């Protein structure tokens, strides 16, 4: 049962000095004019409902008149730091339309809607407590997925750019049978690759509402991608199945679609393709990955019990004895990457370094 796979509450882990130094080196650590705690000083809130009248579990918050102007200016400044050069030149053309707060989940984020008054376009950003697990997850996603991730950290505050897409549970709400045969096959292929990507980089809890579907129109067809949007469970749990989206009940419709549309040979081929793609990315940014994993190996982002459980299960899964010597989640991930790259290079022995 899934309840036994995923911990009900994951603690937040502080940013270590070594990780902070890494973030500074790669321009992730930037001085910002407001902290997460500042946004908690709201004076009122109302529930936010979706178009169907369902409670979204978000609260629209309001601030006292004497604080609101300063808070909104600070949020605009953060927006320019995240998306531009951080100058004040565009601030007069920005408006803070909404500040929403979510009490559901681990990160309890604030969602900020910023609108450009010149063209009426808007974007979202999120402000959260800077949890080390999530920071590692975001950085690994940036380095090893097909997509780039926009985020900044300042002391105990994390700012993330919005990842656009349709939540997986919403996308599949009506069932996959109404999709065309071509769309079903492509979505099945993408889920297999997403599943493999999550396994290799040990990103857990990829239930259908923790990733989005991104449709892209290409000539006379639509291409689909699956992108993770929640990184709290990066290398935290001890059970290996937590890192396999295929075993989470919220993904049953995707799993059924894969079985209905892909042969075993195709599934295996897509897994190989994804392993190869990730291996190439690891080799391409190996110095940065090495630095990140050195931080992670010295960091405590899980319990000793979970570390021992995961290294045991990964040894049984891979038969790689190096897992037996791992004493942290960072060292486990390092061995996992080495295992994937080694197998890739054995097959592609012509790769030039």
Q: Do 173 and 317 belong together in one domain? A: yes
Q: Do 140 and 198 belong together in one domain? A: no
68 vs 41: CA distance, rounded Å: 10
- Give every CB contact of residue 216 below 8 A, 6+ residues apart in sequence: 222, 223, 224, 225
Q: Which of 199-203, 217-221, 306-310, 332-336 has the lowest mean pLDDT?
A: 217-221
pLDDT at 164 exceeding the cut of 90: yes
Which range marks the domain in which residue 102 is found?
A: 11-161
What mean pLDDT is predicted for residues 27-31?
94
pLDDT at 97 exceeding the cut of 70: yes
With cut-offs at 50, 70 and 90, classify the pLDDT of residue 347: low
Q: By CB neighbour count within 10 A (0-12 exposed, 13-18 middle, 19+ buried), where does 142 fall?
A: middle
Q: Do 124 and 237 belong together in one domain? A: no
What mean pLDDT is predicted for residues 183-199?
96
**5 occurs within a structural domain:** no
* Spatial CA neighbour of 254 closest among 314, 203, 184: 184
The answer to whether the CB of 220 falls within 8 A of the CB of 229 is no
**SS3 at position 317:** helix
| 11 vs 107, higher pLDDT | 11
- Angle CA(133)–CA(56)–CA(97) in degrees, nearest 5? 85
Q: Do 265 and 170 belong together in one domain? A: yes
C-alpha distances in angstroms, 310 versus 7, 203, 313? 14, 13, 5
The domain total for the chain is 2
What mean pLDDT is predicted for residues 325-331?
97
pLDDT at 3 exceeding the cut of 60: no
C-alpha distances in angstroms, 125 versus 112, 113, 166, 282, 287? 5, 7, 16, 28, 30
What mean pLDDT is predicted for residues 58-63?
96
Query: Which pLDDT score, from 0 to 100, does residue 56 have?
Result: 87
Taking only the tens place, the pLDDT of each residue in 120-135 is: 999 999 999 999 999 9
- Reading phi first (left if > 0) and then psi (alpha if -120 to 50, else beta), residue 244 is in beta
Query: Which pLDDT score, from 0 to 100, does residue 353 have?
Result: 43
Q: Do 115 and 196 belong together in one domain? A: no
With cut-offs at 50, 70 and 90, classify the pLDDT of residue 106: confident
Q: Do 188 and 335 belong together in one domain? A: yes
With cut-offs at 50, 70 and 90, classify the pLDDT of residue 87: confident
Q: Tell me, what CATH number does 241's domain have? A: 1.10.1070
Q: What is the mean pLDDT of the chain?
A: 92
Which of 117, 138, 161 terminates a domain? The answer is 161
């Amino acid at each position: 049962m899934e309840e036994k796979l995923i911990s009900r509450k994951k603690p937040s882990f502080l940013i270590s000095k070594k990780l902070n130094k890494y973030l500074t080196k790669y321009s992730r650590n930037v001085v910002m004019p407001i902290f997460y705690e500042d946004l908690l000083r709201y004076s009122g809130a109302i529930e936010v409902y979706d178009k169907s009248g369902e409670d979204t579990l978000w609260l629209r918050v309001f601030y006292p008149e004497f604080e609101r102007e300063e808070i909104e200016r600070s949020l605009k400044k953060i927006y320019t730091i995240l998306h531009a050069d951080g100058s004040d030149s565009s601030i007069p053309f920005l408006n803070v339309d909404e500040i929403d707060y979510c009490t559901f989940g681990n990160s309890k984020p604030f969602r900020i809607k910023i609108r450009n008054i010149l063209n009426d376009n808007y974007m979202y950003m999120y402000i959260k407590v800077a949890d080390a697990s999530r920071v590692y997850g975001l950085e690994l996603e940036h380095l090893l997925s097909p997509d780039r991730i926009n985020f900044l950290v300042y002391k105990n505050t994390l700012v993330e750019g919005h990842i656009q897409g349709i939540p997986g549970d919403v996308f599949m709400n009506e069932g996959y049978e109404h999709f065309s045969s071509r769309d079903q096959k492509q979505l099945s292929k993408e889920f297999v690759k997403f599943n493999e990507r999550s396994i290799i980089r040990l990103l857990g809890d990829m239930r259908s509402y923790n990733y989005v579907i991104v449709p892209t129109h290409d000539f006379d067809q639509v291409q689909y991608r699956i992108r993770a949007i929640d990184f709290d469970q990066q290398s935290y749990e001890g059970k290996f199945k937590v890192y396999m989206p295929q075993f989470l009940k919220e993904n049953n419709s995707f799993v059924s679609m894969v079985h209905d549309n892909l042969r075993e040979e195709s599934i295996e081929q897509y897994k190989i393709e994804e392993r190869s793609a990730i291996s190439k990315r690891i080799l391409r940014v190996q110095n940065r990955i090495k630095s990140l994993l050195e931080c992670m190996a010295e960091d405590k982002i899980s319990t000793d019990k979970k570390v021992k459980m995961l290294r045991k299960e990964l040894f049984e899964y891979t038969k790689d004895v190096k897992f037996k010597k791992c004493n942290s989640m960072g060292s486990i991930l390092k061995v996992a990457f080495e295992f994937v790259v080694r197998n890739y290079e054995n097959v592609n022995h012509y790769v030039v370094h």
